Amino acid sequence: MSDTPIKIALLSGSLRGESLNTKLVTAVAGEIERQDGVEIDLISLNKLDLPIYDQDLEEKEFPAGALELKRRLKESDGFLIGSPEYNGSISGALKNAIDWASRPRPDEEPLECFKGKGCGLLAASPGAIGGLRGLRHVRQILTQLQMVVIPQEFALSKAHEAFDDAGQIKDENARAMANNVGGSLVKMIRALKCDV
């Protein structure tokens, strides 16, 4: 089980080029990618053409960006998500991506992108609690979509000054807690794959 090959999709809920959440999820991914058999797919939402979800648009012509997102999520065994906190909740970009990915296509099982897959949650913010409040809503949404969201989560406070020039978390304890989410996610995904 310890070397079962797995693929993890990285998702940042921020569209900003210098996103703190993208930095955080990428830093953790760099650590877990060192393990044997772990493949990472960084999905940049700002590079996909994802209009605001609209059922009329879905029925007329499913957007190419949404199809690409669904394909890459289906090919992944689990997700590592960095979610900014917008007004105490999930970002519109992340929620929109989840909404498109949850829409079934004729050749799919319901919730095929999500059902039974593992997920780890991270957040980063310049604020004192690091975006922690928004993670509750992300967890609730993904649980509704029948994902297995690991209990461990991490919110990086004062994130605007938390990274070194190489993109690593400077504080040793914060780095260990963030990497614990990644390590626990890998173990969960491998356990889920062995149960199939």
**What value does the mean pLDDT of the chain take?**
93
User: With bands split at pLDDT 50, 70 and 90, how would you rate the model's confidence at 191?
Assistant: very high
User: With bands split at pLDDT 50, 70 and 90, how would you rate the model's confidence at 116?
Assistant: very high
- Element containing residue 184 per DSSP (H, E): helix 172-195
Main-chain dihedrals φ then ψ at residue 107, nearest 5 degrees: -100, 15
Whether residue 47 contacts residue 14, with contact meaning beta carbons closer than 8 Å, is answered with no
CATH of 6-195, one of 3.10.20.30, 3.30.1550.10, 3.40.50.360, 1.10.3720.10: 3.40.50.360
Q: State pLDDT tens for residues 62-109.
A: 999 999 999 999 999 999 999 999 999 999 999 999 999 999 999 899
Residue 3: pLDDT over 80: no
Residue ranges of the domains in the chain?
6-195
What local confidence, expressed as pLDDT, does residue 196 receive? Answer: 55
Token readout for 32 is 């877990």
Please give the single-letter amino acid code of residue 103.
R
How far is the first Cα of the chain from the last one, in angstroms, to the nearest whole number?
Answer: 12
Whether residue 19 contacts residue 12, with contact meaning beta carbons closer than 8 Å, is answered with yes
User: With bands split at pLDDT 50, 70 and 90, how would you rate the model's confidence at 195?
Assistant: low
What local confidence, expressed as pLDDT, does residue 98 receive? Answer: 97
What local confidence, expressed as pLDDT, does residue 52 receive? Answer: 96
Higher pLDDT, 42 or 194: 42
Alpha-carbon dihedral sign for residues 102, 133, 176, 165: positive
